[in-house]
Structure 1
Amino acid sequence: MSLTPEPTNPIYSQLTTIEDWTRWAASEFNRADLFFGHGTDNAWDEAIKLVMFALALPSELFDASKNAKLLAQEKQELFELIARRVEEQIPAAYLTNQANFAGLSFYVDERVLVPRSPIAELIDNKFLPYLSEQPSRILDLCTGSGCIAIACAYAFPEAEVDALDLSVDALNVAQINIEGHGLMAQVIPIQSDLFASVAQEKYDLIVTNPPYVDQEDVDSLPAEFTHEPEMGLGSGHDGLDITREILAKAASQLTDTGVLVCEVGNSQIHVEAAYPEVPFHWVEFTRGGHGVFVLTKAQLEEYQEIFNQRVVAR
């Protein structure tokens, strides 16, 4: 469906309040069969997010302001924003350059994935019961926007946090967020192909949300995902090319009591098939989400030979 703004378009007179425009936007999103999964999971919440952003108001004020009438210029700007969401199928987070993670706000654009990891719940819980003591050094591997690294810095204000990514574009976005949160002295962005740039370093906690989408899913992703950087999504036929390498190398990067936390999402089934001998601990989340495992350094060392054998060239 094409939404073309015209000076005489009847919707400008028929839709007058914030609630009117939100309802209309949600209906257009549903008619267009858009995909939701980049910060919202339904058309109504997505409509609220975009409408309130266009009006420079926090979403939390929707109920208090829903009967307010819009100015002509506001209607035009809002119409154009809604039209872009429908016609270009751009995730709302890229239209607003805003995303929330672990209760924090982050700048995002098409250089990074939109934050949506269930690891946020683990950070909120300070990784209990998996950590035996407060970590002094944390590594966020495949940091993207830097959201995990920054949230970890808030959770553990005394810890040093290294934020690694192969993509310079992603690290530039991470730097924006590090500076935006005033954490330049605590969170350090580093360009690295996995552990290559920190090979001699040891960490109490390694957290990683690497690319893990298998090829079948990559080939069938909704249009919204085509706006995200491809290198942040796919990782071989079963989605595990990078995860295999992380498993093989993580033990040497951890302190004796260190822990690896890794998200593999829907590729959990592939992990279990590839490593049937390994007793992965899969985190159960109360706020939704799945496919995150935890392994201690001792466990990684116990199965080191298996992990080494099953690395694939990339």
Structure 2
Amino acid sequence: MFRYFRWPLIWTAIGLALSLWLGWAYSGNLAGALSFFFVASVLAVLEISLSFDNAIVNANKLKNMTPEWQHRFLTWGIVIAVFGMRVVFPLLIVVVAAGIGPIEALRLAATRPAEYAHIIEGAHVSIAGFGGAFLMMVALSYFIDEGKEVDWIATLECRLRACASIRGLEIAFVLALSLIFTTILPHNDKFPFLLASVAGLLTFLGVEVVGHLLDRAEMSREAAKGGLGAFLYLEVLDASFSFDGVIGAFALTQNLFLIAIGLGIGAFYVRAMTIMLVERNALSEFRYLEHGAFWSILILSGIMFAQTLMPVHELVTGLLGAGFILVALLSSIRFNRAMLRGGNEE
């Protein structure tokens, strides 16, 4: 177990030490340093609690990738997750929203964090629309699938699977829900939300198309095994999961660098959990664990849409997601015990 979490533990020590130094640099006293230390710890725990489902879905996709592409995702992917989504992404939001250059956005984050956070908050509707639509497509595509053989919440999942013969049903559902929210939202938020949700839907379809093209390509052995297509899918999926954590982090602190440290610590643990799930073949051993993750994703996508109308605390999101996964794990254990008893009776 320790070998999976060796690097996350090392980064935790480095990250928390950096948070102390950053707090001292900004405040010049021990109280400020300890405050930064505490916020970094809370952000790390928040990121981990929100990302159990992310790790499970990552593991499900990684098991079908070549070892080389698995390694690329688990190395390049961590750089993109920590640096790209926790530093570059918030900066890009400010660059686009405020119409300033990247250097000016970085200077704004360092010297005027309150103004920086205000600009990020102003883009929340668009972020929620994009991430909610993309994640909803991820979840619905899993449940509305004729090839799905195992059901957990049988009453619902059987009916969803039966709907797979209706082409484009999940797309129609996401578009319809987006239009409903668009009619409810305040006038100034209508167009940004609708544009972002359609962009999220098109991004999912675009990644799917790229993946299918690469799977069918006979140019190389890697492409035939779903290397680049699966990599792109996982990176966009990671980004969508990160939206909620990044935006929620600004409720705790307005310091971009502290957010990067805290959420970066959490991202390392998500990668460690992903590797452990793949190497121990846990998704095969616990048959309903994957179902719990996708129900959690569906709930998260709905919450992201709902956040455009009302605040939803990240603790609620984390508890709901972890709750579905825990119940799915317990259901899997109960199923395994029942199968074992049945085998012994024979």
TM-score, normalised on structure 2?
Answer: 0.26
Structure holding more helix per residue: 2
Structure holding more strand per residue: 1
Relative contact order higher in (CA < 8 Å, ≥ 6 apart):
2
